[in-house]
Amino acid sequence: MTYAARTTVAIGAVLLAAVACKDKAAIVRGDSLQTALSEQQVLTNQLGSQKDSLTRVVLDADAFLGQMDSAIKSVRGLPRSKRSASESPLADQVAARREMMERVNALVARAKSTAAQLAELQQKQANLETENAQQREQNAAQALKIAEDAQLIADLGATIERQRTQIVTLEARIDSLNTEMQTLGARHFRAYYVVGTEKELIAKGIIVKEGGANLLFVRAGRTLQPARVLNAEVFTAIDQRETKGIPVPDTTRRYRVVSRQSLDDAEVDARDGTAFKGNIKITKPDEFWAASRFLILVKQ
């Protein structure tokens, strides 16, 4: 082969090699481009999907926020809308959300205030419960004290009632004793006297003649004595405590004491032993009536 031929062949080979290399690089570039396009398509699809999801989220958020805004607007005292009509929907949406945030903030502030008031009320309630517990304890103690006092009063009332019954019984006994004492006193201090001639008093069985010597038909030296049994009905009854004197029918006549009384315990006129004139003034009643409760005066 000639040099030219070899040269031509070499050049051809070089050209073929260069073409082959160029085609290989092109293939590699094509593959890379295809890969990039595929990845771009994937990213595009992902972006579209994410955009759709984001759109739904935004729409859902707008719906939720709209419902919240409608609910918040029904609360009294929250800021009212100050927006004017706008040509930009985006600006309206931003303004609406800003106003909604203002209302949300106002609502949050009110909620915080309400929570603070609630906490304060709860603290007051706790304090009141504590005070009520103390008050209940005090009331329970007071109720117990009242019950004890009431029982004490009831016991005292029962005691007083028993004492009253005893007093009534004692008063009845005292009345009975007083009556008995009065009866006994009346009996004890009761005295009797009688004034009459010897004949009258003998006829009534008040006095008798005793003693003396038996001289056939008469008994010389006989004396007048009170009868052994005296009938109080033929005497005049008196009370020793009240009667201080014994009257006689005739103060000019003389009388003699036949009974056991002593004129030493009395005042009389013209006394001669047991004889006297006028009325009897008793100066010592106890001593005068001690010898006998029956006074017998014989008119002379």
74 band by pLDDT with thresholds 50, 70 and 90: low
Helix (H) or strand (E) holding 158: helix 89-188
pLDDT tens digits, one per residue of 77-105:
656 666 665 556 667 777 777 777 777 77
- How many other C-beta atoms lie within 10 A of the C-beta of residue 255? 24
Mean pLDDT of 8-30: 60
Task: Tell me: pLDDT of 287 over 80.
Answer: yes
216 band by pLDDT with thresholds 50, 70 and 90: very low
State the Cα angle at 194 between 188 and 195, rounded to 5°. Answer: 155
Residue 103 has a pLDDT of 73
Task: Tell me: pLDDT of 292 over 90.
Answer: yes
Share of the chain above pLDDT 90, in %: 33
Please state, in angstroms and rounded to a whole number, the distance separating the CA atoms of residues 268 and 281: 7
Mean pLDDT of 203-218: 74
- For residue 50, give the nearest of 35, 42, 62, 93 by alpha carbon: 42
Helix (H) or strand (E) holding 25: helix 3-73
Task: Tell me: pLDDT of 245 over 60.
Answer: yes
Residue 194 has a pLDDT of 98
Is 148 strand, coil or helix? helix
Q: In this structure, what DSSP letter does residue 79 have?
A: P
- Burial status of residue 295 (CB atoms within 10 A of its CB: 0-12, 13-18, 19 or more): buried
Task: Tell me: pLDDT of 28 over 70.
Answer: no
16 band by pLDDT with thresholds 50, 70 and 90: low
Task: Tell me: pLDDT of 253 over 70.
Answer: yes
Residue 134 has a pLDDT of 82
Mean pLDDT of 253-279: 96
136 band by pLDDT with thresholds 50, 70 and 90: confident
- For residue 227, give the nearest of 273, 194, 191 by alpha carbon: 194
- Whole-model pTM: value is 0.44
pLDDT tens digits, one per residue of 219-235:
455 799 999 999 999 99
Select the more confidently predicted residue: 101 or 255: 255
Mean pLDDT of 155-182: 81
- For residue 281, give the nearest of 271, 290, 293 by alpha carbon: 271
Q: What is the CA radius of gyration of the chain?
A: 76
pLDDT tens digits, one per residue of 99-130:
777 777 777 777 788 778 878 878 887 888 88
Mean pLDDT of 140-162: 86
267 band by pLDDT with thresholds 50, 70 and 90: very high
